[in-house]
Each structure stands twice: as structure tokens, then as C-alpha cells.
Amino acid sequence: MTTSYLLIPGAGGEAWYWHRVAPLLAERGHRAIPVDLPADDPGAGLAEYTETALAALESSGHEEGDELIVVAQSMGGFTGPLVATRTRVDLLVMLAAMVPAPGETGGAWWADTGQPEAAAAAAEEGGYRYPGGENGEFDLDVFFHDVPDEVRARAVERGERDQSDAPFGTPWPLEKWPEVPTRFLLCRHDRLFPAEFQRRVVRERLGITPDEMDGGHLPALAHPDDLVERLETYRETLAV
């Protein structure tokens, strides 16, 4: 059976985020589908993000009988479950992700979950700056502290796509989590969503215990081999 991995990025919405993961999945004989979201479109909210992900799936060659694993990173956690309500998904993997509550906006999520306080406390304990930079902007090290220098340099050279506010103002439309097998993979050294914070949020909102891997908030850039091994372990359990 062919397996399709639908790879949904976080804020900024660039398929490039998955450029180190997609070839590794392809080498294993799978169909890797990195999604490029309309993140810089001020008129695109969660509905448009969902349609974009579904369009990428349709154009990939994915067929109805193929196995489908959706991987949703960071802000992609708002979109991944919506995709699962529109097409058959065998597994939803939430990766260092935001877990929305029914009716919650992406903008409200931060205060609702206590993320600012949790991240500031973790920074003080860990001896690094958060958010760092000027005017409260995120220091690059919040995201890239464990990303290899050459990958970080390419990311800086490419520049950052502006993320519009539209999806952050859109209430998450589901009344409950979709009926789809769900795993959560947190990163133990995540400075944006610290591990202890994620353990609590996942327990409260999904009622499950998250799995854990080493690394910061961008595991697809920093640790693609380890991430693919984790994803493949999840895939193998589907056949059991």
C-alpha cells in the first residue's frame, strides 16, 4: 500500500520547511506532499488553508485506497484536524503544534493556554532570552537554536514570508476533535512551546500523553532523520 504524508507547515506556511524531510520519505517509497499555504494573503483564513491542503493532496496523485498520514507542525495544528473532517485520514500527527479548542481563535490561543508565561519561565530556568530581540520580537534563537548553521543561513537568506493575521482571527470551527487516530510529538528543547507546557495542554485538550523527541521548535529542519524515524514508527503501528 502506498502511503501519502501530507506535511502542513506552521506560521509562514512555506513548503520549504519540509525540504529535508520530504526526500527521506520519498527514499522509503512514500509520497511526500509538503503544503505551501497562502500565509501572506490577508484574505486567507483557516477555510482557505484547509482547501489549499486538500488541493495539494488531490494534485499529488494520492488515491482513495492509499494510506494518508497528516503531519501538522506548530500553527498547522489548527488546519490538520480540519483536513481530517474532509477526507479519510489514517493518522494525524501533531508536531510541536498548537492544539485548538472549539471556537477558539489562533490569536486567543496564546493567553488561553498560558503560553507567554510558560515560555518566559522556561527561558529564565534555561538561561536564554525569550522572546529576545527588539520590541518584543522573537530572537532567531527561539526557533533556530539547534538548526545546523548551513540550514539556518539558507533560511535567513530566503527571508521570512509575512504571516497574515487572518487565520489568527478565525474561530476554530469544530465542536470537538475529529474521530481520527491522533498522536502528539513534542520537542523537549522547544523554546516557543516548552515541553512541560505542551504536556499539560495535550493532556487537557486531547486527553493523551504526548510522545517526545529531542530538539527545538523546528525538528524538520534540525533533526529530519530522527523525525522521519518517528513518523515511520507511527506508520508501522497502523498495520498492527
The residue to which cell 521548535 is assigned: 217
CA–CA separation, 130 and 159 (whole Å): 21
CA–CA separation, 103 and 1 (whole Å): 37
What is the 3-class SS of 128-155, one letter each residue? Answer: CCCCCCCCCCCCHHHHHCCCCHHHHHHH
How large is the average pLDDT for residues 101-108?
97
Q: What is the pLDDT of residues 9-50, one digit of tens each?
A: 999 999 999 999 999 999 999 999 999 999 999 999 999 999
C-alpha cell at 140: 532567531
229 has pLDDT over 60:
yes
130 has pLDDT over 60:
yes
- Identify the pLDDT of residue 137: 56
The number of beta carbons lying within 10 Å of the beta carbon of residue 203 is 13
pLDDT > 90: what percent of the chain? 89
> What confidence tier does 240 reach under pLDDT thresholds 50, 70, 90?
low
122 has pLDDT over 80:
yes
Q: What is the pLDDT of residues 170-227, one digit of tens each?
A: 999 999 999 999 999 999 999 999 999 999 999 999 999 999 999 999 999 999 999 9
How large is the average pLDDT for residues 89-105?
98
Pairwise pLDDT comparison (158 vs 24), residue with the higher score: 24
Residue 178 burial (10 A CB sphere; 0-12, 13-18, 19+): middle
- Identify the pLDDT of residue 138: 63
Q: In what order do the strands lie in the sheet with 182-187?
A: 31-34, 3-8, 67-73, 91-95, 182-187, 211-213
The structure's pTM equals 0.96
Q: Rounded mean pLDDT of the chain?
A: 94
> What confidence tier does 132 reach under pLDDT thresholds 50, 70, 90?
low
Domain ranges within the chain, ordered by starting residue: 3-238
> What confidence tier does 106 reach under pLDDT thresholds 50, 70, 90?
very high
Q: What's phi and psi for 212, nearest 5 deg?
A: -135, 145
DSSP state of 70: E
CA–CA separation, 223 and 225 (whole Å): 6
101 has pLDDT over 60:
yes
54 has pLDDT over 70:
yes
Superfamily of domain 3-238: Alpha/Beta hydrolase fold, catalytic domain (3.40.50.1820)
